């Protein structure tokens, strides 16, 4: 009587899929996921309230609260030309915060678990989020500029310089989104993401040249302001719109954007793969 042996079935290989996905397919996945995120906004228009109302509230509030103190009562129109380019930098920072909260909520609802079972690049899920948020940021910036023009903003250079300032703000805002995505993947809930984001946002926003010249600040704060990437972005946008030297501020802003993305994007993608 001969003994028969049954070969053990081969172990199933984990389906990563990402290594077999080409650039064209990756772009197609990003487009499909971005469309899904855009349709979510269409189904829930209230999610656009921050992008629509925030620029209106900010320009009115800061112009008439700070403007009179900085340039003199009745001269607030002069302050608009200083404030609006700075607020362009601030828009990206505030809207970027929503990405981390959205990622965190999607994990709580199980949406991200579904995405990770699909044969798509893990990075495409996160990049699609960023694409849609850049669109929201563009809406907020457009409303800000329209409000600024109504309140006396003058474009002293050209439309191309203005578009350059907008593009620079978009690029920096996109890099910041990777930070907030990483926070959304690391912290336990959306409230924690919002709280940590505010701790980051407040010093960067008010310790910068967005609202007033650093020369009016104490020495230690002026030093912090000079190294604050938001100051570089605000100064670059301001000089692109009002005229002035732009090379240093532009290159510093682009450098910060690249450095932030290179450091945080791989960390966010790796965390997305491992998060349960």
150, two tokens: 């109504």
Is the pLDDT at 1 greater than 80? The verdict is: no
Return the domain boundaries, the chain: 22-274
253 vs 240: CA distance, rounded Å: 13
Maximum Cα–Cα distance for the chain, whole Å?
107
**pLDDT score for 255:** 95
The pTM (predicted TM-score) of the whole model is: 0.83
3-state secondary structure the chain: CCCCCCCCCCCCCCCCCHHHCCHHHHHHHHHHHHHHHHHHHHHCHHHHHHHHHHHHHHHHHHHHHHHHHHHCCCCHHHHHHHHHHHHHHHHHHHHHHHHHHHHHHHHHHCHHHHHHCCCCCHHHHHHHHHHHHHHHHHHHHHHHHHHHHHCCCCCCCCHHHHHHHHHHHHHHHHHHHHHHHHHHHHCCCHHHHHHHHHHHHHHHHHCCCCCCCHHHCCHHHHHHHHHCHHHHHHHHHHHHHHCCCCHHHHHHHHHHHHHHHHHHHHHHHHHHHHCC
Other C-beta atoms closer than 10 Å to the C-beta of 150 total 10
* Residue where the block lists tokens 């900085």: 70
**pLDDT score for 149:** 92
Render pLDDT for 179-231 as a digit per residue (tens, 0 to 9): 999 988 888 887 888 888 888 888 888 888 888 888 878 888 888 888 899 99
138 vs 175: CA distance, rounded Å: 15
Q: Among 62-76, 118-132, 204-218, where is mean pLDDT lowest?
A: 62-76
C-alpha 40, offset from chain centre: 19
- Mean pLDDT, to the nearest integer, of 30-46? 83
Confidence of residue 2 (pLDDT cuts 50, 70, 90): very low
Residues 6+ away with beta carbon under 8 Å from 224:
207
Confidence of residue 262 (pLDDT cuts 50, 70, 90): very high
**Contact between residue 77 and residue 159 where contact means Cβ atoms under 8 Å apart:** no
């Amino acid at each position: 009587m001969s003994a028969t042996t049954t070969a053990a079935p081969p172990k199933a290989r984990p389906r990563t899929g990402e290594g077999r996905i080409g650039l064209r397919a990756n772009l197609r996945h990003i487009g499909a996921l971005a469309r899904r995120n855009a349709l979510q906004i269409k189904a829930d228009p209230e999610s656009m309230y921050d992008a629509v109302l925030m620029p209106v509230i900010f320009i009115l509030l800061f112009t008439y609260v700070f403007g009179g103190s900085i340039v003199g009562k009745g001269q607030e129109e002069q302050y608009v030309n200083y404030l609006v380019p700075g607020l362009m930098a601030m828009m990206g920072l505030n809207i970027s915060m929503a990405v981390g909260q959205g990622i965190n909520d999607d994990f709580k609802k199980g949406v991200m678990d579904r995405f990770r079972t699909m044969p798509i690049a893990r990075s495409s899920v996160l990049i699609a989020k960023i694409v849609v948020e850049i669109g929201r940021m563009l809406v907020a910036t457009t409303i800000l500029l329209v409000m600024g023009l109504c309140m006396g903003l003058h474009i002293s250079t050209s439309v191309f310089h203005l578009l350059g300032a907008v593009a620079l703000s978009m690029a920096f805002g996109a890099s910041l989104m990777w930070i907030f995505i990483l926070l959304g993947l690391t912290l336990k809930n959306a409230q924690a993401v919002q709280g940590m984001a505010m701790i980051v946002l407040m010093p960067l926003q008010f310790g910068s040249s967005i609202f007033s010249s650093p020369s009016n600040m104490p020495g230690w704060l002026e030093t912090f302001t000079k190294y604050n990437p938001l100051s570089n972005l605000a100064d670059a946008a301001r000089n692109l719109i009002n005229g002035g030297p732009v090379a240093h501020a532009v290159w510093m802003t682009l450098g910060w954007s690249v450095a932030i993305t290179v450091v945080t994007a791989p960390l966010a993608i790796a965390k997305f793969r491992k998060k349960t």
